[in-house]
Amino acid sequence: MLLDPAIIELRYDSLSLSWADDQEYFEGFFAGLFRENRNRFLGTSDPDLLFVWLIAGDRAWLGIDLLEGEPVVGQRWEDVVEASITVPAGARPHWTTLSDLTGPFQLPAGDYRVRLSASGRDGAVPTLLLEFWPAPPRPDAVVRLRSERGRAFHDDWRVGEVGEAARVLRSWSRSGTTLVETVASTSYGQMELRWSPDGCLMDDLESLFAGQANGLVGAAHPGGVYFHLARYGCGSLLRMEHHASAPLLEAAAQDVVEVSTTLPDHGEPRWEAWGGMGYGELALAPGSYRLRVSAQGRDEGEQGEFTGYLVDSYLLQFWPAEPQPDAILRTTSDNARRWHEVWGGR
């Protein structure tokens, strides 16, 4: 056994095994790891990562085994799923920072079949077994799903679907030029727009919100703009647009703030999620801009961290304008109201 069966306390209810030396966080939102999978427990769509939803609650019996050949599926197991992974030569598999296990994992290079078996998910302390054995790649499979909790999770994890908030954003007008449209995966919901490749705005939040009324979008720092997403890290729909003049305010937007920012000459504007989990160039010319950030589904994003579809969305609109004080145009969600209380009014 690679891990003798023992009770482990669960913080994330998941295991995340990577064989990329520089990968401490998985790229893309959680559902993206399952985009090529039929099952919703073993995510293998990222070639450098095996992501495992345990769905066991606060604690569980867990064993991990590396076998020489395919084992028989025991009748004691209520839920059983399988998938295939490939560990490349020279890789050093390790549990990532978002895993309930830590440190290196002794798994030699090669092709493997992985099986997650579970029993007692409907009880207090489930039992889980994760097994690896050498095998050529083949499609993942749901062998059986008998527990109510396992079936409910599997059915709820609707890969590729969007919730109401994301549908609303996609229905909004596109009167400007789209600069970025992506699913933004962050850590701690932190995003920033930087006007140069140096430094990190998030290192000095106080200066970002100094003298501002709002607490969602910090633009008091000359180096760029910082804003909070409601969802911690599972992915939020994000669109950025450039307009020739102030666009109409979207009637359905729940939370809206405006700030001013100035892009310097010879700048290199880019957007980036905390920890480098997502980034890209931002095609904006030097000059002064008004930036409106409209949000939909902030409360749903905060409460639906592990919902398997997009639940919150954000529209960032830039247009040329002389600097003026920031403004809170609309506050509907409890999440936005709290951020304004914590970081606003400085």
Domain that holds residue 221: 164-343
Q: How many residues appear in the chain?
A: 346
**Amino acid 279: pLDDT:** 77
User: 0.85 cut: is pTM over it?
Assistant: no
pLDDT, tens digit, 9 for 90 and up, residues 106-150: 899 999 999 999 999 999 899 999 999 999 999 999 999 999 999
Do 299 and 196 share a structural domain? Answer: yes
Do 76 and 25 share a structural domain? Answer: yes
Number of domains, the chain? 2
Of 4-13, 51-60, 105-114, 223-232, where does the model show the most confidence? 105-114
Query: Which residue, of 100, 129, 156, is where some domain finishes?
Result: 156
What average pLDDT does range 295-313 have in this prediction? 80
Do 219 and 98 share a structural domain? Answer: no
pLDDT, tens digit, 9 for 90 and up, residues 29-86: 455 677 678 888 998 988 888 989 899 988 899 999 999 999 999 999 999 999 999 9
| 3-class state of residue 30 by DSSP | helix
CATH of residue 300: 2.60.34.30
> Is it the case that residue 161 has pLDDT exceeding 60?
no
**Amino acid 159: pLDDT:** 44
Do 223 and 138 share a structural domain? Answer: no
Do 224 and 179 share a structural domain? Answer: yes
Do 221 and 180 share a structural domain? Answer: yes
Do 188 and 121 share a structural domain? Answer: no
Do 323 and 274 share a structural domain? Answer: yes
What average pLDDT does range 219-241 have in this prediction? 87
Query: Which residue, of 99, 121, 156, is where some domain finishes?
Result: 156
> CA 323, 327, 297: angle at the middle one, nearest 5?
125
Sign of the CA dihedral 213, 218, 220, 225? negative
Do 114 and 198 share a structural domain? Answer: no
User: Do β-strands 190-194 and 103-104 pair in parallel, antiparallel, or remain unpaired?
Assistant: unpaired
- Per DSSP, 172 falls in state S
Q: How confident is the model at residue 300 (pLDDT cuts 50, 70, 90)?
A: confident
Query: Which residue, of 113, 132, 156, is where some domain finishes?
Result: 156
